[in-house]
Amino acid sequence: MQTIYLDARDYHTAADVHSALKLLLDLPDYYGMNADALYDCLSERREPVSVAVRGEGTEEVAATLDKVRRVVEDLEGTYKTL
C-alpha cells in the first residue's frame, strides 16, 4: 500500500491539494483535479492508498481533504489525521 503524507497548512486552495496528490501519487496527465477524477484514477490501481494528513488548512482545503478521505475510504484505503 502506498502511503503519502500531506500537511494541510501547506495548501491554500483545492487546486493546491490536487496538484500535490497528482505529484505524490504519480497520477496521469489527464487527472482532472477533482474528487471524481481522483476516484477514477485510484480505482485503476491494484492496491489502495494510505493518506496521512497533519495540520489544519483553510476551509476550502478542509473540504477538499474531506472529499479525498471519502474517495480513499470508498476504495478501501486508509486516511489518518495526525
Write out the chain's pLDDT in tens, 82 residues.
999 999 999 999 999 999 999 999 999 999 999 999 999 999 999 999 999 999 989 999 999 999 999 999 999 999 999 9
Q: Indicate the pTM of the whole model.
A: 0.94
In order of 21, 39, 56, 78, the CA distances from 28 in angstroms are 11, 13, 27, 21
CATH code of 2-81, in short, is 3.30.370.10
Q: Taking the CB of residue 51, how many other CB atoms lie within 10 A of it?
A: 23
